[in-house]
A and B are shown apart, each in its own frame.
Chain A
């Protein structure tokens, strides 16, 4: 009864939405071997593999993938940096253009690699440079066939329409958002994440957690995305510490991968909010990994948003599901409990919890708050935050950890 009452406070009578999730998802240990079969089933003949230098040299999965492609292998671009950029994509396109008959992109790596694959899928179809294709929903036809294979469990990029790239000149992240670049196939092979270092495991999991929570407090929230997001949160809550304790345990690794994909589908439909708006800015300005930036900001945005009843009810629902509270407490009280618990959870995973720890100068907060107002994510935040002073107050709290 309580849940029904809670839900009735969360959704309004004029609820309307479009749920869109076109990616075929293949999950399982060893499922990387499905790549050639997927190409064959889709009438594809030649693939370019996209990855980063570290994985190229050190990750057995990349080698296995290349070997399994046999005559479908067209070449490999392994120059994707930890934060991909406009330049990287243009460089990848130049490389791919010199190869013959490429009709498939297989990206294997973290979000940066997969986003590079998405952007390349546009250039291989439309030509030009990636600067010509920035923006939202401007394409009018399907792009190059793309199989995404995540080796982290966080970004959810394997199922989303977004490619986040750095504009190195402007020191700013730019976003491409196109339904036509959602990867056609996502292969979730938990074996590929077994060697992921602890810090990266934790920060990417917190990224996924942020996706789930942001989807839930978004103005565009809807029940299907919500269902995915709530389950994603539970999976991360129950499995992250287990993975950190026993890094090569397949089952919790797989659960984190599933959670990341659930978070990806959830936010791709419901969008993200102020946590990402701030994280995009500080990530680009100070080279801070996205998951770490999200983790620092998340508890403070929850506290800020919780004054909006529709957000507060969501936080209460999360807290009840995580058994942090019973359903009798007020959402304001429970939201605070949730924010504190999340901060402890992030700290327990050995990640920073303040902007001060990230060495962001306090006198930069003013400039950051202004820049955040230009990030599209902020439009969807569950509580109105389009004023510099509001963002600045959150930043100040996140700086000192108050």
Chain B
């Protein structure tokens, strides 16, 4: 039995996975740019009736907090990346690298400075690898 994505349990597992990923710690050691919010767009066909805002408080290679927040809270974050459920599923399955996803328009950088994100391409990759450590159940499977 895996963890449903998105769910509170999944988010807590994700935080643990990030913090136990040494490669993430190393590649993100200079990340001092604050919170990244991942927006999972609503998809009523799979029971996701509202946009979901996942708040990742990242600082110098560690994830200090991972939680769901409201849209209003999310908008306070310096970086917001948005995508459909299917795109995030591709990311979690390592089929789509997040920065390439942004550059190709598969994910949208709604807020934040792209060059800063680009500078941390390896950290972004490791964030994704962290999510693959979780036994994830997807809503449409």
Q: Which residue numbers of A lie inside 8 Å of B, CB to CB?
A: 135-138, 177, 179, 219-220, 271, 373-376, 378-380, 386
Whether the Cβ atoms of B115 and A379 lie closer than 8 Å is: no
Whether the Cβ atoms of A135 and B114 lie closer than 8 Å is: yes
Whether the Cβ atoms of A373 and B119 lie closer than 8 Å is: yes
For chain B, the count of residues having a C-beta within 8 Å of the partner chain is 15
7 contacts between A and B (CB under 8 A): A136-B102, A137-B102, A137-B108, A376-B103, A379-B100, A380-B103, A386-B121
Whether the Cβ atoms of A136 and B119 lie closer than 8 Å is: no
Whether the Cβ atoms of B114 and A379 lie closer than 8 Å is: no
Given known A-B contacts A220-B100, A379-B121, A374 and B115 have beta carbons under 8 A apart: yes
CB-defined contacts of B121 to chain A, threshold 8 Å: 379, 386
Interface 0/1 of B68-106, CB less than 8 Å to A: 000000000000000000000000000000011011110
Given known A-B contacts A138-B108, A386-B122, A374 and B116 have beta carbons under 8 A apart: yes
Whether the Cβ atoms of A136 and B118 lie closer than 8 Å is: no
CB-defined contacts of B103 to chain A, threshold 8 Å: 136-137, 177, 271, 376, 379-380
Chain A min CB distance to B2 (Å): 24
Instruction: Assess whether B109 is interfacial by the CB under 8 Å rule.
Output: yes
CB-defined contacts of B115 to chain A, threshold 8 Å: 374-376
Q: Which residue of A lies closest to B116 (CB)?
A: A374
CB-defined contacts of B108 to chain A, threshold 8 Å: 137-138
Q: Which of A136, A379, A386 contacts B109 (CB 8 A)?
A: A136
CB-defined contacts of A138 to chain B, threshold 8 Å: 108-109
Given known A-B contacts A136-B109, A137-B108, A138-B108, A374 and B119 have beta carbons under 8 A apart: yes
CA A386 to CA B118, docked complex, whole Å: 9
Whether the Cβ atoms of B114 and A376 lie closer than 8 Å is: yes
Whether the Cβ atoms of A136 and B105 lie closer than 8 Å is: yes
Q: Which residue numbers of B lie inside 8 Å of A, CB to CB?
A: 99-100, 102-105, 108-109, 114-116, 118-119, 121-122
Whether the Cβ atoms of A376 and B105 lie closer than 8 Å is: no
Q: Which residue of A lies closest to B115 (CB)?
A: A374
Whether the Cβ atoms of B109 and A135 lie closer than 8 Å is: yes
CA A129 to CA B122, docked complex, whole Å: 33
Q: Is the interface of B mostly helix, strand, loop or mixed?
A: helix
CA A373 to CA B108, docked complex, whole Å: 21
Chain B min CB distance to A289 (Å): 22
CA A219 to CA B109, docked complex, whole Å: 21
CA A190 to CA B108, docked complex, whole Å: 39
CA A137 to CA B104, docked complex, whole Å: 7
CB-defined contacts of B122 to chain A, threshold 8 Å: 386
Q: Which residue of B lies closest to A373 (CB)?
A: B119
CB-defined contacts of A135 to chain B, threshold 8 Å: 109, 114
CB-defined contacts of B104 to chain A, threshold 8 Å: 137
Whether the Cβ atoms of B118 and A378 lie closer than 8 Å is: yes
CB-defined contacts of A374 to chain B, threshold 8 Å: 115-116, 118-119
CA A219 to CA B100, docked complex, whole Å: 10
CB-defined contacts of B119 to chain A, threshold 8 Å: 373-374
Chain B min CB distance to A139 (Å): 9
Q: Which residue of B lies closest to A16 (CB)?
A: B95
CB-defined contacts of A219 to chain B, threshold 8 Å: 100
CB-defined contacts of B109 to chain A, threshold 8 Å: 135-136, 138
CA A219 to CA B103, docked complex, whole Å: 13
Q: Which residue of A lies closest to B109 (CB)?
A: A135
Chain A min CB distance to B64 (Å): 25
Chain A min CB distance to B97 (Å): 8
Chain A min CB distance to B115 (Å): 4
CA A89 to CA B43, docked complex, whole Å: 38
Given known A-B contacts A374-B115, A374-B116, A374-B118, A379 and B105 have beta carbons under 8 A apart: no
CA A177 to CA B108, docked complex, whole Å: 12
Given A136-B103, A379-B99, A379-B103, 13 new contacts (CB under 8 A): A135-B109, A135-B114, A136-B105, A138-B108, A220-B100, A373-B118, A374-B115, A374-B116, A375-B115, A376-B114, A376-B115, A378-B118, A380-B103
Q: Which residue of B lies closest to A178 (CB)?
A: B105
Chain B min CB distance to A285 (Å): 15
Q: Which residue of A lies closest to B112 (CB)?
A: A135
Chain A min CB distance to B136 (Å): 20
Whether the Cβ atoms of A136 and B99 lie closer than 8 Å is: no
CA A179 to CA B114, docked complex, whole Å: 18
Chain B min CB distance to A305 (Å): 17
Whether the Cβ atoms of A179 and B118 lie closer than 8 Å is: no
CA A376 to CA B97, docked complex, whole Å: 14
CA A330 to CA B99, docked complex, whole Å: 34
CB-defined contacts of A378 to chain B, threshold 8 Å: 118
